[in-house]
Amino acid sequence: MAKYSDPHICQCLSRLLTFRRHFPVTVAGNRRKTGQQLVEEVLSLAKGLLHLGLTPGHVVAISAYNSDRYLEWLLAIAFVGGIAAPLNYRWSFEEARLAMTAVRPVMLVTDESSYAWYSKLHQNDIPSLKWHILLDSPSSDFTKWNVITPEMLKRHPGNLLPSDYSLAPEGAVIICFTSGTTGKPKGVTLSHGALIIQSLAKIAIVGYNEDDVYLHTAPLCHIGGLSSALTMLMVGGCHVLMPKFDAESAVDAIEQYTVTSFITVPAIMASLISIIRQKETWKGGETVEKILNGGGSLSHELIKDTSLFFHKAKLISAYGMTETCSSLTFLSLYDPMNENTNQSLQTFGVAGSKITFQPQGVCVGKAAPHIELKISADTSGHTGRILTRGPHIMLRYWDQTLTNPLNPNNEAWLDTGDIGSIDHYGNLWLLGRTNGRIKSGGENIYPEEVEAILLEHPGIASVVIVGIPDAGLTEMVAACIQLRENWKWSEQSSSDKEFHLSRKNLQQYCIENHLSRFKIPKMFIVSRKPFPVTTTGKIRRDQVRKEIISQLQSLHSNL
């Protein structure tokens, strides 16, 4: 049993039951639930979990599309002191297996999103698993573990009050996965306190409140989607959930449910704008009041289009990472109530379409009230690694064999792995990433993983994966390759031609080798000269990236 003074995400249940008892708080397809109905569902699931024998500290893996049931499961797991480990339904079988091997769940909760990799999973792959919960209709394929439906769980008698929640050791509640330097999923262990203080920051800065109708555009397996969902649970707003993001469905939902807020990444915003342009009439611009952007900077064109089609919405950009429980800094890009917004953007230098190439980096705004930031500076004293400390930092990586991310000189400070500077106004400027990590469409991609797969191809002698600036994805995955002797490159070549490579058949090769689609290179460049290396023989990835960008800029200027 938790102390009443301890932070707990299920403290939102009392508010939902009191202030939102008869008001809708979730809308998912044909299902609408009031605050009372949602709380009753959570408590029924919690009773069933306790009856099964789930105890504080047990890990429950969940892989599913966004839905009201997903939210209920997150709360029910937390209520009994369990630790939820959301899996990315876009993962390959191997990624899902590695994640579960690392966190050793006793229960797996899935829906149709997991069918592809679940069919390959054997019981001895994850020895810790005792139960499997199926959120949709059972199938004959689901007989490997003790299969239980939510309805079976809810049959158990007994009474639970919203205040009867328990805590896991250390106050842990979520294991949110992010890719490691080898591409393997790393489990970031987050506490109730970190999630609540992140929610309070979003409430204070973005302005979420109980009158909000929030559209879930991000998956609940990502920290951005998770933290914003918990913020909306705290204030008691209404959640509109669709299984996964689809621009046309999202635009329809905004109009149908008079959506007031949602989060986005540049790729999502670009696709929304594209659909809105095709509509004869557009009503969503009259209801949306708050848009929070993450996963990369919006281009000047996207900011302009957003202010045009969502003219009543405050547009705020956030910078953060999973290890810091989402957002560290916030920057107001457009505020209809503030005529000076665009002028201030020009002052910061973040409104131009070429911001990615500016030597001073990209301005990502000021730290949230609970955040401490500092720069571990180089000899110039201005630029260096971005460090942070405070109650928002993760407890640890679940797998203790992984590298400790804390700064060895002062263990209170977390090294973000990013390079930047802080100006005299307190704005953080982001220059780049220390480890070559690529951020594409809100997903973390590590070059080493993609390189390892492409190097298995008999036609490739060497490969360097880099991220190059892209207005829609923030960064686009590009592969610079060297061909083996007797192999030829042709964009028109087909997969049945011997000793020929093309973008199409290399992408197909990646798919066949179970690389998640968002990690597959969009561009392939054949290099005729050796890759630049350091004095110790390591490839200069930064130099390769710089040369590719230079070639593309030169090509663009000659068109």
Q: What is the pLDDT of residues 246-280, one digit of tens each?
A: 999 999 999 999 999 999 988 899 899 999 999 99
C-alpha closest to that of 59 among 102, 90, 19, 118: 102
Provide the pLDDT confidence category of residue 136 given band limits of 50, 70 and 90. confident
Q: Report yes or no on 81 lying in a domain.
A: yes
Mean pLDDT check: name the lowest of 158-162, 397-401, 507-511. Answer: 397-401
Residues 73 and 109 in one domain: yes
Helices of type H across 80-222: 93-103, 115-118, 150-153, 192-205
pLDDT band at 552 (very low <50, low <70, confident <90, very high): confident
Same domain, 426 and 442: no
Contact between 235 and 211 (Cβ < 8 Å):
no
Note the pTM of the prediction, 2 decimals. 0.80
Note the pLDDT of residue 440.
86
d(CA 320, CA 390): 14
Query: What's the pLDDT score for residue 558?
Result: 62
Note the pLDDT of residue 292.
97
Question: Do residues 423 and 448 share a domain?
Answer: no
Phi-psi sector, 208: left (phi>0), alpha (psi -120 to 50), beta: beta
- For residue 197, being part of any structural domain is answered with no
266 with 180, same domain: the answer is no
Q: Is pLDDT larger for residue 421 or for residue 76?
A: 76
Looking at the structure, tell me whether residues 513 and 547 fall in a common domain: yes
Percent residues over pLDDT 70 in the chain = 86
Shared domain for 379 and 466, answered yes or no, is no
Q: What is the rounded average pLDDT of the residues 503-523? A: 91
The gap from C-alpha 9 to its chain's centroid, in whole angstroms, comes to 20
Domain-located, residue 202: no
Report the domain count for the chain.
3
Helical ranges in 265-348 per DSSP H: 266-277, 300-309, 341-348
Which of the four pLDDT bands, split at 50, 70 and 90, describes residue 405?
low
CATH number at residue 551: 3.30.300.30
Asked if the structure places residue 236 within a domain, the reply is no
Q: CATH number for the domain including 36?
A: 3.40.50.12780
pLDDT tens for 28-75 read 999 999 999 999 999 999 999 999 999 999 999 999 999 999 999 999
End-to-end CA distance of the chain: 67
Name residues whose C-beta falls within 8 Å of residue 2's C-beta, 6 or more positions apart in sequence. Answer: 8, 81, 165, 166, 167
Last residue of a domain, one of 156, 191, 226: 191
- 377 and 413 assigned to the same domain: yes
Of residues 111 and 554, more confidence is placed in: 111
Q: Same domain for 431 and 451? A: no
From CA 554, how far away is CA 559, in angstroms rounded? 9
Q: What is the pLDDT of residue 322?
A: 93
Q: Using a pLDDT cut of 90, give the percent of the chain over it.
A: 58
**Whole-angstrom distance, CA of residue 524 vs CA of residue 537:** 23
Domain interval for residue 519: 438-558
pLDDT tens-digit readout, 187-234: 999 999 999 999 999 999 999 999 999 999 999 999 999 999 999 999
What is the structure's pLDDT at 279?
93
pLDDT single digits (tens) 335-391: 998 766 554 443 333 333 333 333 356 789 999 999 999 998 755 557 888 999 999
